Amino acid sequence: MNTIRKSILLLCCIVCSIIFSSNKLEEGMFPLSDLSKIDFKKAGFTIQQDEIFNPEGISLTNALVRIGGCTGSFISNEGLIITNHHCAFGAVSRVSTVENNYLEHGFMARTREEEIPVGIECKITRSYEDVSSLILKGISEETNGKEREQIITRNSQQLIDEESQRHPDLKIEISEMFIGRTYVLFRYEILKDTRLVYVPPRQVGEFGGETDNWEWPRHTGDFAILRAYSDTNNKAAEYHHTNQPYKPAKFLKINPNGVQENDLVFILGYPGRTYRHQPARFIEYQVDHLLPFVSKWYEFKIQTMMNVSRGKQDEERYLNLAPSIKRLANVKKNYEGKIQGLKRTHLLEFKLQEDYKMKSFAIGNKMGSNFEIVIDKIDSLYKSKNEMFNKEFIFYFLNNDIGYIQTALTILNFQNQPKKDIKSFWHGKKEFLTQLIQSRFSDANQDIEYEFFRELIYKLDKENIMTKSYHKAIDKSEWIRKLYRNNQKDRKKWALLISKNPEKMQYVNSPILEFLKEMLPYMEEINTKKEYIDAQLNIWIPIYTELKYRSHPSNFTPDANSTLRLTYGYIRRYSPNDGETHYPFTSVEGIIQKNNSGNPDYFLPDNLRTFFNQKQLPTILVDKKNGKPIVCMLYNLDTTGGNSGSPIMDKDGNLVGINFDRAYTATINDYAWNENYSRSIGVDIRYVIYIMKYLSGAEHLLQEMGVTI
């Protein structure tokens, strides 16, 4: 490396150290066990720590629920739950029809009898307990990766079984908080009877569509209201609405006055997996391989589904595909933002410097050979992982996105079992195959699946992996079409055998099975390499994490893992680009301006266009800056996936908004947080009230929520 390159790298590392080594109090997703690390008074809270979480009594955490993959909160003593529109999107889509398109036009139940069952499971955290010593019992320094994993799995299951017997009414889960070091047992109350109460029209709840996704300024009314009911074993009661609404131990009070710029706000929620304590080569793997490959593949899937469904002008089919398209588009744009953010912030360079310092720390403190060589070992493993990436993920998507392939591989696996194991193997797979054929391997989407299949075959060809018959074929596209065309014939034959005479499945044959027999050696080679690399990483990553903890003990917060966390910060504007500053609130003025741009994602029907131009509103709902109703807010909290639907609370613990997104620059929160780039976005509670009261006339719901305007 020449002197100029060394100087550039050093400068990048200095800049990154400033950006990513912030000691601001608002940084961090604090587990319940770490709340004592927060100086609540200095931060600006007026409530105490035990008002947020109190294992001996009632606190704000009793009002929190994990709802599907999102967060929600109780807002009445009759089980009302507020969460995001996009968190209820799939459920609303499922209960919508062409005649009653609640997804498009919205829905409001005026009575309990009108509420629609959607069956989204809710989890309420009841208590937690550190069980690390029990989980790691029987593990020593000599235990290899595979044995370690087996012991942890066995000990975890044993403890879950014991706890489930003690608490049959609760769901028991064990979460790894600190890789290879700390394990916490959580006890959850589960509610399965949830019903749709209110969802705004799609032009409100999803205003801006993919154009505005992961962007600021935002003008999206991303909220929905459900109701939880006390579960019962009486199925007739469940379906005839005779259950009683669930009575939460705590529900959030709403502050209709909202908050102002620089006010303290905090969130309780269930953030998904973060990767703050991974090594530099993990970041390199993400930015060079995983993120670009998956985002491009999802783009292809989205375009294929849009082209096929819209090409046939089939509204019902589009309704069925809409949740999948939305989910894929959300991930695709998130990944693209991460690529930009990781490159823009030079996080890889910072991580490389951090790893170098950690290695020097281990050597200087004579911590032992494992700590001194751990980074070199991980670097070597990721080099091998990078080399096999494309092949690994092509096979992964071939198996996971193509129902025909997934079914055929399971059958092939069945046929390869020793005769003495066939009955037991089939017993475990019969239900899985039956469901697979009925759901994913159906007539409805075979044209879409075929397009996926063809594209993945071309990708395998580029990796020099394909059968002899393919290479001999003059017309490759026709060869692929002929291979896939038997799917309907095979499906019907296999479905019949599974239901009537499953043992005969070991004798079936098909071109797709012959194709996969030729592919199996490649698949097995990749899988063997992957298993070895993953097993080795399972040994070395805990050592790396321990080294990082010892070298950074004062500011080490465990990565998020879908367990209940607190993050706090302030309503803050920001400057994502040179000469560009964003005010932390938006108003309906922006909705009108965007609607006039002609972008279809900003389309408003006549009734909404008229509604947003109305005057004479209570001053409590309007922005003092422009006199227009406030829509969304911006803040520097540390959030990630899973925080969707989390309640945004003020210093007193009152509800002032619902978190739903991050700014584009904050997609890097999974890997790092910093004051300059990390901004999260929520719908202001004042906009929720505005829409419910003046657009929908939901006075009965506002009254139940304790809101009087």
Q: What share of the chain is helix, strand, coil (3-state, %, to 5)?
A: 55, 15, 30
Residue 286 has pLDDT above 90, yes or no: yes
Position with higher pLDDT, 428 vs 195: 195
Same domain, 394 and 263: no
Same domain, 215 and 329: no
What percentage of the chain exceeds 90 in pLDDT? 63
622 falls within a domain: yes
Same domain, 468 and 512: yes
**Residue that is last in its domain, among 550, 578, 598:** 550
d(CA 270, CA 263): 23
What pLDDT band is residue 238 in, cutting at 50, 70 and 90? very low
Same domain, 360 and 414: yes
**Residue that is last in its domain, among 507, 526, 550:** 550
* Predicted pLDDT of residue 428: 66
* Predicted pLDDT of residue 438: 66
* Predicted pLDDT of residue 5: 41
**Residue 645: which domain range?**
28-121+192-274+562-709
If one counts the domains in the chain, the total is 2
What pLDDT band is residue 421 in, cutting at 50, 70 and 90? confident
695 falls within a domain: yes
The alpha carbon of residue 588 and the mean position of all alpha carbons in its chain are separated, in whole angstroms, by 29
Residue 21 has pLDDT above 50, yes or no: no
Residue 299, both tokens: 């783009």
d(CA 606, CA 608): 6
Residue 463 has pLDDT above 60, yes or no: yes
Same domain, 576 and 446: no
What pLDDT band is residue 19 in, cutting at 50, 70 and 90? very low
* Predicted pLDDT of residue 493: 84
Residue 201 has pLDDT above 90, yes or no: yes
Residue 430 has pLDDT above 80, yes or no: no
| CA 146 vs CA 325, 409, 537: distances in Å | 38, 25, 11
Nearest-CA neighbor of 580 among 215, 99, 58, 300?
215
Same domain, 477 and 350: yes
Average of per-residue pLDDT across 147-175: 93
Residue 118 has pLDDT above 90, yes or no: yes
What pLDDT band is residue 16 in, cutting at 50, 70 and 90? very low
* Predicted pLDDT of residue 345: 82
d(CA 220, CA 240): 34
CB atoms within 10 A of CB 416: 11
Residue 104, both tokens: 């498009």
Residue 671 has pLDDT above 70, yes or no: yes
Residue 18 has pLDDT above 70, yes or no: no
2 falls within a domain: no
288-298 pLDDT per residue, tens? 999 999 999 99
Is cis: bond before 217, omega within 30 of 0?
yes
* Predicted pLDDT of residue 496: 80
* Predicted pLDDT of residue 439: 62
| Mean pLDDT score across all residues of the chain | 88
Residue 82 has pLDDT above 90, yes or no: yes
Same domain, 543 and 589: no
Residue 528 has pLDDT above 90, yes or no: yes
**Residue that is last in its domain, among 525, 550, 575:** 550
Average of per-residue pLDDT across 455-483: 93
130 falls within a domain: no
Average of per-residue pLDDT across 544-569: 87
d(CA 454, CA 477): 8
HEC letters along 146-166: HHHHHHHHHHHHHHHHHHHHH
Average of per-residue pLDDT across 586-590: 95
Average of per-residue pLDDT across 632-659: 96
Same domain, 345 and 317: yes
Average of per-residue pLDDT across 565-589: 92
Same domain, 286 and 231: no
User: pTM surpassing 0.85?
Assistant: no
Q: Is 624 exposed, middle or buried (0-12, 13-18, 19+ CB in 10 A)?
A: exposed
Helices (H), 21-74: 40-43, 49-52
Among 60-69, 174-183, 272-281, 633-642, the range scoring the smallest mean pLDDT is 174-183
d(CA 593, CA 612): 11
What pLDDT band is residue 267 in, cutting at 50, 70 and 90? very high
| CA 550 vs CA 70, 122, 128, 358, 660: distances in Å | 33, 38, 25, 9, 35
Residue 319 has pLDDT above 80, yes or no: no
Residue 2 has pLDDT above 90, yes or no: no
429 falls within a domain: yes
- Residue tagged 């994490």 (tokens): 545
- Residue tagged 């403190």 (tokens): 365
The domain that holds 203 is classified in CATH as 2.40.10.120
Residue 14 has pLDDT above 80, yes or no: no
Nearest-CA neighbor of 286 among 302, 274, 269?
274
- Pairing assessment for the beta strands 70-74 and 80-83 based on DSSP bridges: antiparallel
Listed in order, strand segments (DSSP E) in 526-685 are 565-570, 585-587, 630-635, 647-649, 655-662, 680-684
Same domain, 602 and 482: no
294 falls within a domain: yes
What pLDDT band is residue 437 in, cutting at 50, 70 and 90? low
What pLDDT band is residue 313 in, cutting at 50, 70 and 90? low
* Predicted pLDDT of residue 434: 72
511-551 and 347-364 helices, crossing angle to 10°: 60
Backbone φ and ψ of 642, nearest 5°: 100, -25
579 falls within a domain: yes
d(CA 388, CA 342): 23
Helix (H) / strand (E) element for 172: namely strand 170-178
Same domain, 316 and 417: yes
Average of per-residue pLDDT across 456-481: 93
d(CA 267, CA 26): 11
327-356 pLDDT per residue, tens? 899 899 999 989 988 888 889 999 999 999
What pLDDT band is residue 257 in, cutting at 50, 70 and 90? very high
What pLDDT band is residue 443 in, cutting at 50, 70 and 90? low
Same domain, 503 and 574: no
* Predicted pLDDT of residue 322: 81
* Predicted pLDDT of residue 615: 72
What pLDDT band is residue 415 in, cutting at 50, 70 and 90? confident
∠ CA 512-515-520 to the nearest 5 degrees? Answer: 120
* Predicted pLDDT of residue 242: 55
* Predicted pLDDT of residue 278: 94
Average of per-residue pLDDT across 32-38: 88
d(CA 641, CA 263): 24
182 falls within a domain: no
